[in-house]
């Protein structure tokens, strides 16, 4: 099994959601992806809050 992020051969792959896609990556990459997705999600939420606040 090959990690779709770093391309390394690993025994087990973890499925992580990246935007609307699902990627199969090794556990190490899964952590990185999850973290960056969380940050992206938070940033988006904060932006929406700001826009909603400004809009009204
Ligand atoms: Zn990997």
Neighbouring residues of 13: CB distance < 8 A, sequence distance ≥ 6: 1, 3, 4, 24, 25, 26
Ligand 1 centre distance from Cα of residue 37 (Å) = 16
pLDDT class of 55 with cuts at 50, 70, 90: low
- How does pLDDT run across 21-42, given as a tens digit for each residue? 999 999 999 999 999 988 888 8
Number of helices and strands (H, E) in the chain? Answer: 1, 2
The pLDDT of residue 40 is 86
C-alpha of residue 26 to centroid of ligand 1, in Å: 4
Name the pTM for this structure.
Answer: 0.71
- Cα of 50 to ligand 1 centre, how many Å? 35
Mean confidence (pLDDT) of the chain:
90
């Amino acid at each position: 099994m090959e990690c779709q992020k770093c391309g390394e051969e690993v025994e087990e792959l973890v499925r992580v959601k990246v935007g609307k896609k699902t990627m199969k990556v090794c556990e190490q990459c899964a952590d990185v992806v999850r973290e960056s997705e969380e940050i992206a999600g938070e940033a988006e939420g904060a932006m929406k809050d700001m826009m909603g606040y400004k809009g009204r």
